[in-house]
Structure 1
Amino acid sequence: MILSLMHFFKVTTEAELWWVIFGFFAQAMFMMRFLVQWIASERARRSLVPVAFWYFSLLGGLTLLAYAVHRRDPVFIFGQALGTVIYVRNLWLIHASRNRTLES
């Protein structure tokens, strides 16, 4: 089974196979943000971006960044690193806004 997966994914070591599996997990986390956003929008019958969207963005972005660093892909690294900064900033703004609301 492992050898056939290694052949299918064109990797030569079991460690590299685990990195590919990790990459698929990372991509799934990143894709979940769209599913969460879509479900929230459908329920509200208007376009929404729930907080969970930003958490999945951050988790997916960080795991994809780790995968990109392992693969030494500068284009992928740049894109995920920049995105991660944006996701953190959005979460910070959301939580700061909530704290201001609680203080009022």
Structure 2
Amino acid sequence: MNDTTMWIIIGFAGQALFTMRFVVQWIASEKAKQSLVPVAFWFFSIGGGIVLLGYAIHREDPVFIAGQAGGLVIYARNLWFIYGHKFKRDEGKAG
């Protein structure tokens, strides 16, 4: 397998991870009969974002790099909100 083919596969793998976040969100919303954003959405966002950022860096595409890097900050911040609140709540119970 040549280098170009490998990077195309990496790019599509990142895109597949990124797409899964919408599938997860759609399924969760359908089950609840309301719009939901499950935690898995943010994990797929980070996974896809990291792989696509690597692909964008390899392609040396500054627009793609900026878009993916900016998104990663938002995805990580959302997980921080989710788990930071849980950690603080659980920490309070231990005392």
> Which TM class, normalised by the smaller chain length?
over 0.9
Paired position in structure 2 for 1:93: 81
Quick check: which has more Rg, 1 or 2? 1
The higher-RCO structure (CA 8 Å, 6+ apart) is 2
Given candidates 3, 9, 23, the residue that maps to 2:11 is 23
The more displaced of 35-44 and 93-102 is: 93-102
State the partner residue of 1:84: 72
| Structure 2 gap segments, 5+ residues each | none
Counterpart residue number, 1:63: 51
Aligned Cα RMSD in Å? 1.1
The runs of 4+ residues in structure 1 deviating greater than 3 Å are: none
Give me the identity figure in percent. Answer: 58
Deviation at 1:20, TM superposition (A): 0.3
Aligned residues: 92
CA distance in 1: counterparts of 2:3 and 2:88, whole angstroms: 47
**How does the TM-score come out when normalised to structure 1?**
0.84
Q: Which runs of 5+ in 1 are unaligned?
A: 3-13
